[in-house]
Every structure is written in C-alpha cells, then in structure tokens.
Amino acid sequence: MKNLLNLVIICFLSSNLFSQNLKEPRLYIAYQTFDSIKVDGIGNDPAWEKVGFSQDFIDIEGEKTPSFKTNVKMVWDEKYLYFFAKMEEPHVWGTLKQRDTVIFYNNDFEIFIDPDGDTHNYMEFEMNALNTVWDLFIVKPYRERAPIIDNWDIKGLKSAVYVKGSLNDPTDIDEGWSVEIAIPWEVMAEANTHNRIPKSDFWRINFSRVNWDFQLDNGTYSRKKDENGKFLPEYNWVWSPQGVINMHEPEHWGYVYFSEKEPGTRMDFSIPKDERVKWLLYNLYRKQKTFYAEHKKWATKIEDISAKRTLIEGEEVEPQIENHLSGWNISVKSPFTGDTYLIKEDGDLIKIK
C-alpha cells in the first residue's frame, strides 16, 4: 500500500510539470520551398498556397478566445526563413515610423526565436502596419539581469505589409492586414550557437500579436485611455500560450520543425521525450526561485522544492541539486537518451552527454 501511495504522489507531481496550468506547446512543420517568394505582404506565391496556416492564436494565458482571428505560416529555403501572418482587424492603424522604437505601443505582430532552446540568446522582431520594425537580441529573459542589445539589426531583412481595407482611415471598416517577413539564415547563425540551417531539426519559436483598444483624436488613432488618463491594457494574442502575460519565458514557446520535404507534402512531428526533462527542470528552477523569495536562501536538498523522484512518460527520474558559491545547479539524467540536462541559477540549460 505504501508503494502504491508513493506512485500516486509521483504521478501527481509528474502531471504538474507546467506550474502555470499550461498545455503542451504547439507544433508547426515548416517545409523547404524551391519556389521563389516575393515579399509583398500578400502571401499568394505558390509556396504559400501549398502550406497550411497555424492554429488560431489564443490569449496569452491560454484561456480566452481573441476578438479577431490571427494565423501564421512558415517556409524556408537555403537563404531565408519566411513568415506570413494574416490578422483580422476592423481598424488598421499605425503611428510609429522610426525603426527600433517601442513598436508594441501600436498594434503589432511579433516573432520570438530561440534556436538552441536554452532560453538565453534569443531574438525578438516586431512590426506594425506601417512596416516599421524593431529587432533586438536578448541575452537572458527579463527575469534575469542581462543586457538587451537594442542596436542589433537583422541585416538583409525583408518585410512588407498588405492592408485589406485602408490604413489610418476611421471612416470605413477594414478586413485586416497581413505581414510577410524573410530573415536571412546567416544572421541567425551568427547570433547563436546553431550555426547551420536546422534541417530535419526543430527550434523554439513563438508569435505574438499585441492589440489595443483605440480612441480618435481629431480623426487620428491612438491607444485608448480610461477616465483617469491611463492607457487601457493591451490584448496579447499568441500562437502557443504562455500561461502568464509574459512572452519572455521561452521555455513555453512552440516547436517548429524544419522539414526538408517540399510544401504540399505531409509528415508528422512529435515533441522529443527529452524535452519533457527540460520542462521538469524549468519547473524546478521556478520552485527554487520561489524558495529563495520565501526563505532568503537557496534550497540545498531537492526535497525542499520537489519530490525526490518523479515520472516522465512513465519513467522514473531523480533530480539532483548541487549548491556552490555563486548559486546552484539542478540536473536530471534522461531515461530516454542517457543524456544529462542541467539548469543553472540564471535559467541557462545545457546538455551533458
């Protein structure tokens, strides 16, 4: 009976690897295209016609259905990674025209890319309906102190907007707007440890759409304010839900698999089991942070923050914690590959073969 009770407890803990009540991240397969793509925002090239859209975007916390529909597509060739996003919007507007301003103060579309999936050294791209872009390189998520390289630019970037309706005209109702983006592989290779095109491999990627209630001032759109003159909060609609209003938790982003098959073909991709080991480690990372906030010191035993043993896909694992002068490490040996995964006090995750 005691062993059965322990197994029930272990299974309960295993089912709660996502501390924020998240479902598994979403998946998308990006196919390799040999057709040319004209980046004009319309998205009617043969390559786009052969591939399907993603699931509808959902509210960032994963519960509410957005007011307006958003979908995205991806394909790639030997030079670029391409994105096409289509957004319903009855009032298409934009005011920001200078590159690298805070674009999400307008309605915008955003891309987040973490090639090696360690939540560090990732890229963020934003653009509004005026095709004004903001690209930046983020060394660590905002929860950890680190530089944000705002002057980093995606050299060779191509982007375009198509408005189905009219831009900045409040006298009519629009259908929406679409964006088309091409990011050179060589820029992403330079910025990360993945210095190759991820053929038959996956990256962690997510998309966000920021939308604001608006007001008109002499016929000009702006973000709506309440009776006290404060801006109303924005809506955050995403492809793969984050569970919290924070895009900068890369461990929750979706999985994009880069197939070498051509658009129009079909294949299946499932999340590798070792990724679930990583999910466990990020859950323990958050618990260790919570322990520190409550006790003003780090936990020194795994039992202080978790069960000594837990199950992943029916296999038992034993997280190990190691404290040192500058922080701690938590490691888990994968029962699926034999590799050991280790997370540091700053959230960096590495694989040890």
Whole-number pLDDT of residue 22: 62
Indicate whether 142 pLDDT > 80.
yes
Average pLDDT (205-234) is 97
Does the pTM surpass 0.85? The reply is: yes
**Of the options 3.40.50.300, 2.60.40.1190, 3.40.640.10, 2.60.40.10, the CATH number for the domain spanning 25-259:** 2.60.40.1190
Summary count for the chain: helices (H), strands (E)? 4, 21
Give me the pLDDT at residue 108, please. 98
- How many residues would you count in the chain? 353
* Residue range 7-16, pLDDT digits in tens: 333 333 333 4
CA dihedral 120, 339, 201, 189 (to 10 degrees): 40
Structure tokens at 129: 């309906």
More confident position, 104 or 193? 104
Q: Can you give the pLDDT at residue 284? A: 98
Q: Which two structure tokens, joined as six digits, stand for 125?
A: 């791209």
Using CA atoms, how far apart are residues 131 and 108, in angstroms rounded to an integer? 10
| In contact, 321 and 89? CB cutoff 8 Å | no
- Whole-Å CA distances, 115 to 41, 75, 132, 236, 340: 25, 16, 25, 23, 20
pLDDT at 14: 37
How far is Cα 271 from Cα 259, in angstroms, rounded to an integer? 14
Distance CA 47, CA 53 (A): 12
CATH 2.60.40.1190 in the chain, residues?
25-259
Q: What is the pLDDT of residue 195?
A: 72
3-state DSSP percent of the chain in helix, strand and coil, to 5: 15, 35, 50
pLDDT tens column, 249-304:
999 999 999 999 999 898 999 999 999 999 999 999 999 999 999 999 999 999 99
For residues 300-315, give the mean pLDDT. Answer: 94
Confidence of residue 5 (pLDDT cuts 50, 70, 90): very low
| Residue 190 confidence class, pLDDT cut points 50, 70, 90 | confident
DSSP 191: T
Edge-to-edge strand order for the sheet containing 320-324? 320-324, 327-333, 340-344, 349-352
* Residue 181 confidence class, pLDDT cut points 50, 70, 90: very high
